[in-house]
């Protein structure tokens, strides 16, 4: 059937923009969503574009948002904590008000 119709009736694909990666992106490469990035990476804003950044490991500083949707306001986003970790207030090790940092913890 297809031979009789010829290739003219087949839909043509629109080529992807040159800047869009064809394989899973590596750290620092441009992306549109986390599925564009390789394993252990997420797609996060860096200035006015988005790049693949590493998912946070235990002990690394993370961002805890108080308001839903606040993540979109940052120009330097961090990835979420890796699976099995949560972004929690860092346990005090010095004076009571020394740090308000959140870190990825079990």
Please report, for the domain that includes residue 44, its CATH number: 2.10.80.10
* Residue 71 counted as domain residue: yes
pLDDT in tens, 58-74: 999 999 876 666 555 68
Domain that includes residue 50, residue range: 29-105
* Residue 101 counted as domain residue: yes
Q: Which residues of 74-83 are buried (b: 16+ CB within 10 A; e: fewer)?
A: eeebbbbbee
Structural domains of the chain, count: 1
* Residue 16 counted as domain residue: no
* Residue 60 counted as domain residue: yes
What kind and span of H or E run contains 46? strand 41-46
> What backbone phi and psi angles, to 5 degrees, belong to 35?
-65, -15
- Extract the tokens encoding 68: 């839903």
* Residue 1 counted as domain residue: no
3-class secondary-structure state, position 90 = coil
User: What's the Cα-to-Cα distance from 25 to each of 42, 46, 47, 69, 98, rounded to whole Å?
Assistant: 10, 15, 18, 25, 38
* Residue 12 counted as domain residue: no
The pTM assigned to this predicted structure is 0.66
Residues of the chain with pLDDT under 50: 1-3, 5, 21
* Residue 56 counted as domain residue: yes
* Residue 89 counted as domain residue: yes
């Amino acid at each position: 059937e297809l031979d009789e119709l010829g290739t003219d009736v087949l839909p043509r694909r629109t080529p992807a923009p040159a800047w869009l990666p064809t394989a899973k992106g590596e750290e620092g490469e441009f992306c549109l969503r986390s599925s564009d990035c390789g394993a252990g990476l997420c797609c996060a804003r860096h200035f006015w574009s988005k790049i693949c950044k590493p998912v946070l490991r235990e002990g690394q500083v993370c961002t805890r948002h108080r308001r839903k949707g606040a993540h979109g306001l940052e120009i330097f986003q961090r990835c979420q904590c890796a699976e099995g970790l949560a972004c929690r207030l860092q346990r005090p090790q010095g004076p009571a008000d020394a740090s308000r940092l959140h870190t990825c913890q079990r």
